[in-house]
Chain A
Amino acid sequence: MAIKGAGRVKTPVLRIDNLVKSFDGSVVLNDISLTIGEGEVVVIIGPSGCGKSTLLRCVNGLEPVDSGEIYLRDARIDGQKKNLHLVRQKIGMVFQSYDLFPHMDVMDNLLLGPMRALGRTKQDATAEAEAALKRVGLSDKAHALPRQLSGGQKQRVAIVRATLMHPDILLLDEITAALDPEMVREVLSVVLDLAKDGMTMAIVTHEMRFAEAVADRILFMDGGSIVEEGKPKAFFASPETARARKFLNTFTYEELREGIPT
Chain B
Amino acid sequence: MDWGFINRYTPMYVEAAGLTLRIAAAGIALSFVIGALCCLARYFRVPVLRQITGAYIQLARNTPLLVQLFFLYFGLPKIGVRLSSEGCAVMGLAFLGGAYMAEAFRSGLDAVEKTQVEAGECLGLTNAQNIRYVLFPQALATSIPAICANVIFLIKETSVFSAVALADLMYVAKDLIGMYYKTDEALLMLVIAYLTILLPISALGSWLERRLRYAGFGYQRSV
Query: Using a CB–CB distance below 8 Å, which chain A residues touch chain B?
Result: 60-62, 85-93, 95, 97, 99-103, 105, 112-113, 116-118, 145, 147-148, 161-162, 165
When the two chains form their complex, are residues A162 and B122 in contact, meaning their CB atoms are under 8 A apart? yes
Q: Which residues of A contact B127 (CB under 8 A)?
A: 85
CB distance from B3 to the nearest CB of A (A): 52
**Shortest Cβ distance from residue B198 to the other chain A in the assembled complex, whole angstroms:** 29
Q: In the bound complex, how far is the Cα of B122 from the Cα of A95, in angstroms?
A: 10
For A62, the closest partner residue in chain B by CB is: B118
**Which residues from chain B contact A103 at a C-beta distance below 8 Å?**
137-138, 141, 214-217, 219
Given contacts A99-B116, A116-B129, A145-B214, contact A92 B219 (CB under 8 A): no
Q: From B212, which residue of chain A is reached at the shortest CB distance?
A: A103
Does the CB pair B214–A116 fall under 8 Å?
no
Contact present for A112 and B125 (CB under 8 Å):
yes
Name the distance in Å between B13's Cβ and chain A's nearest Cβ.
42
CA distance A93 to B123 in the complex (A): 8
Q: Could you tell me if B122 and A117 are in contact, using CB atoms closer than 8 angstroms?
A: no
Give the number of residue pairs across the A-B interface with Cβ within 8 Å: 80
Nearest A-chain residue to B141, judged by Cβ: A103
CB atoms of B214 and A102 under 8 A apart: yes
Taking the complex as formed, is B223 at the interface, i.e. its CB lies under 8 A from any CB of chain A?
Answer: yes
Q: Are B216 and A165 in contact (CB under 8 A)?
A: no
Query: Nearest Cβ in chain A — how far from B140, in angstroms?
Result: 9
Whether A85 and B124, one on each chain, are in contact in the complex, defined by CB atoms closer than 8 angstroms, is yes
With A and B bound together, what is the CA distance between A147 and B138 in angstroms?
A: 14
Closest to A158 in B: B119
11 new A-B contacts at CB < 8 Å, known A93-B122, A148-B223? A62-B121, A89-B124, A95-B119, A103-B214, A103-B216, A112-B123, A112-B125, A113-B125, A145-B219, A145-B221, A165-B123
Q: Does B63 interact with chain A (Cβ within 8 Å)?
A: no
Q: Which residues of A contact B118 (CB under 8 A)?
A: 62, 95, 99
Which of A116, A145, A147, A148 contacts B125, CB < 8 Å?
A116
Known A103-B137, A103-B217; contact A95-B124, beta-carbon cutoff 8 A: no
Interface residue from B113, B123, B214, B223 paired with A117 (Cβ < 8 Å):
B123
Residue on B with the closest CB to A91?
A: B122
Question: Which partner residue on chain A sits nearest B118 by CB separation?
Answer: A62
CA distance A147 to B219 in the complex (A): 12
Which residue numbers of B lie inside 8 Å of A, CB to CB? 113, 115-116, 118-127, 129, 133-134, 137-138, 141, 214-217, 219, 221, 223
The smallest C-beta distance from A96 to any residue of chain B, in angstroms, reads 9
B68 smallest CB distance to A (angstroms) = 36
Q: Which A residues touch B123, using CB under 8 A?
A: 88-89, 112-113, 117, 161-162, 165
Which of chain B's residues have a CB closer than 8 A to the CB of A89?
Answer: 123-124
**Nearest B-chain residue to A164, judged by Cβ:** B123
- Complex Cα–Cα for A144 and B67 (A): 52
B115 cross-chain contacts in A, Cβ below 8 A:
95, 97, 99
Residues from chain B with Cβ under 8 Å of A61 in the complex? 121
Given contacts A99-B115, A145-B219, is CB(A117)–CB(B124) below 8 Å?
yes
Which residue of A is nearest B129, CB measured? A116
| Residues of chain B with a CB closer than 8 A to A101's CB | 116, 119-120, 133-134, 138
CB nearest neighbor in A for B125: A117
The CA-CA distance from A127 to B1 in the complex, in Å, is 71
Given contact pairs A95-B115, A147-B214, A147-B223, A102 touches B138 in the complex (Cβ within 8 A): yes
Q: For B134, what are the chain A residues with a Cβ–Cβ distance below 8 Å?
A: 101, 112
Collect the chain B residues with CB atoms within 8 Å of residue A112's CB: 123, 125, 133-134
Contacts of B126 in A (CB 8 A): 85, 117
Q: Which residues of A contact B113 (CB under 8 A)?
A: 99
Please name 19 pairs of A and B residues whose Cβ atoms are closer than 8 Å in the assembled complex, sorted by A. Answer: A60-B121, A61-B121, A62-B122, A85-B124, A87-B124, A89-B123, A91-B122, A92-B122, A95-B119, A97-B115, A99-B113, A102-B214, A105-B219, A112-B123, A113-B124, A113-B125, A116-B133, A117-B124, A118-B124
Counting chain A CB atoms within 10 Å of each CB, the highest count among B124, B129, B214, B216 belongs to B124
A113 to B129, CA, bound (A): 10
Please indicate the chain B residues that have their CB under 8 angstroms from the CB of A93 in the complex. Answer: 122
Which of B119, B121, B134, B223 lies at the interface centre, i.e. has the most chain A CB atoms within 10 A of its CB? B119
Q: Which residues of A contact B217 (CB under 8 A)?
A: 103
Cβ-defined contact, A165 with B219, below 8 A: no
